[in-house]
Amino acid sequence: MKTQDMNRDWIATAATLSSALPYLQRYDGAIVVIKLGGHAMGSDEAMESFARDVVLLRHVGVNPVVVHGGGPMINAMLKKLDIQSEFVNGKRVTDQATVEVVEMVLSGVVNKRIVQAINAQGGTAVGLSGKDANLMICDQTDSSLGFVGTPSEMNPKLLQDLFAHDVIPVIAPLGAGRNGETFNINGDTAAGAIAAALKADRLLLLTDVSGVKNAAGEVVTELKAGQIREMTREGTIAGGMIPKTETALDALHSGVRAVVILDGRAPNAVLLELFTEHGAGSLIRPD
């Protein structure tokens, strides 16, 4: 006979699960696009934790879509292959040799690592790029930058078909050109375009910062689009946060219900954001 006493940790765990019920009901059937980058991709432990969270989302009725980056891995491979890069205004020129490496790394090593991690946790994940089923048709962003593209036509039916079969799409940010080109797309931009095409309930941008900060350096947990624009004009939002908030504003304008910029370094950040009252980052809503 085995006996044990209830302890406070168990009771707190049960209370946490119980309090999550209204959020589980709220997101049942919802589409949540997650941009994965930074620390969450940096270690096997972080990847395993992220993959477990994504599988949990699928099992409670959420339709997750993972869009990933891979800049450090691309840089490492370019160095290994001794391919020199040119820069225009601080941005890498993606020539033919470079875009071939970008596709090899993003659609190959990085994408399949994430797919394998999700499958290892009991999910069913499939790796794609924006070239598959013409998911993202791109136009060249700037001729001086070479094969860097901006999504101009989206075809999300394949993703909707995968949802119907409980499959989790994992998407590398590459797109097809109108003349057979391959274009590299900024990961945040790709995630925003996919979220907009799906009219997603949430777009989660995982970063290595805790969220959008005000002038006092404090994380602002909830903002409207107009406040983002004002903080940018004032210079409170600056540097690397600008492209993320611009992605958020574009997504909101295109029909995404809300965007969250959150710290991907925090354990179970996605679950905290979706299934707890306090969330885990900066929630941005339309005006």
Task: Identify the active-site residue in 37, 69, 244, 264.
Answer: 244
Side chain identity at residue 29, one-letter code? G
Task: Identify the active-site residue in 132, 188, 201, 263.
Answer: 188
Closest CA to 214 of 222, 206, 205: 222
Catalytic: 244? yes
Mapping DSSP to helix (H, G, I), strand (E, B) and coil, where does residue 198 land? helix
Catalytic: 82? no
Side chain identity at residue 174, one-letter code? L
Q: Was 281 annotated as part of a binding site?
A: no
Closest CA to 65 of 275, 273, 270, 276: 270
Q: Was 89 annotated as part of a binding site?
A: no
Q: Was 8 annotated as part of a binding site?
A: no
Side chain identity at residue 16, one-letter code? T
Closest CA to 94 of 179, 194, 171, 186: 186
Catalytic: 71? yes
Q: Was 92 annotated as part of a binding site?
A: yes
Q: Which H or E element spans position 75?
A: helix 71-80
Catalytic: 35? yes
Catalytic: 157? no
Residues making up the annotated binding site are 70-71, 92, 184
Residues making up the annotated binding site for substrate are 70-71, 92, 184
Which sequence positions are flagged as catalytic?
A: 35, 38, 71, 188, 244
